[in-house]
Amino acid sequence: MFDTTCKFLAESFSSDFASWLLGEPIPLTELSPSELSLEPIRADALILLASEEYILHVEFQTEPDSDMPYRMADYRLRVYRRFPQKQMKQVVIYLTPSSSDYVYQTAFEIPGTRHEFEVIRLWEQPTQLFLESTGLLPLAILTNTPDQAQTLRQVAERIDAVPEPRVQSNVAASTGILAGLTLEKDFINKVLRKEIMQQSVIYQEWKEEFLQEGEQTGILKGEQSLILRQLTRRIGDVSPEMRSQIQSLSLDQLEALGEALLDFAEPTDLVNWLKKNQTN
């Protein structure tokens, strides 16, 4: 959700991101990852933007990623194969603070080969820069600010001054989603006008995704409850350890357990089934 929101911002406000990452507001258009590969390519948290001279490749990450250096080198070669004449800027943007060594890696290196890329840790960036561009406003809350609550209020003031309703709603919704990484929902809703956020495309997509996830969670919990009741009838009380293992099963695994438990006669049957079927 957070990575998708950042991708939406980079696509919608590409000139603001170009000014920030390239140093000038170069007009950029989205480049489909499918143009770069003969095989499937990971595309859920990245954005590729192209101009006549440049390709800007941005990866948004909420968590450290040990595979990032390899992936950046891989993309660079794919882009060179397709656009050998274009310059390329590659940036990994980490959204949330981390002490992991991975967020400091800026190169992929194997014997005879070295590829470098840029890393931006948002929590180290000065806040003022992000308050000066509409497309960067939602990221301001994640920067090096001594008072996140006050920064959100400043962002809200600037959002209210945006003249275009559609842009205003998209920026407000994106801000609300990203602010959720660090602030409480009630405070976010108090500072940002919910009626404006609800008009945004990104808000509607997020709401639909949230509801779908909630529905899946409800189904999973219902299946867990049913399985545990059936197990209690078949083999007696289920130990806390066994309950924990059952709660870690996927929906497909729970359905398989629901069929298998009809043949259970004692607790060891459950223990043996979990050993055989549970994946770590």
Domain ranges of the chain: 2-197, 214-277
Task: For residue 67, give both structure tokens.
Answer: 């595979």
The mean per-residue pLDDT over the stretch 171-176 comes to 90
Q: Look up residue 231 and give its amino acid.
A: L
* Chain position carrying tokens 């497909």: 252
pLDDT at 38: 41
Check residues 214 and 200 and name the one with the higher pLDDT.
Answer: 200
Edge-to-edge strand list for the sheet holding 118-121: 29-30, 46-50, 54-61, 87-94, 118-121
The mean per-residue pLDDT over the stretch 157-169 comes to 91
pLDDT greater than 50 at residue 155: yes
Q: Considering only the C-alpha atoms of the chain, give the largest distance between any 2 of them, rounded to a whole number of Å.
A: 71
pLDDT greater than 80 at residue 199: no
The mean per-residue pLDDT over the stretch 157-181 comes to 90
Is residue 73 a contact partner of residue 108, using CB atoms and an 8 Å limit?
yes
Rg (alpha carbons) of the chain, rounded to whole number: 24
pLDDT greater than 60 at residue 215: no
Task: For residue 121, give both structure tokens.
Answer: 């840790």
Task: For residue 230, give both structure tokens.
Answer: 């059936």
pLDDT at 213: 47
Q: What is the mean pLDDT of the chain?
A: 84
Bridge partner list, 50 = 29, 55
Chain segment 27-40, per-residue pLDDT in tens: 888 877 666 654 44
- Please tell me the distance from the alpha carbon of residue 269 to that of residue 75, in angstroms, as a whole number: 49
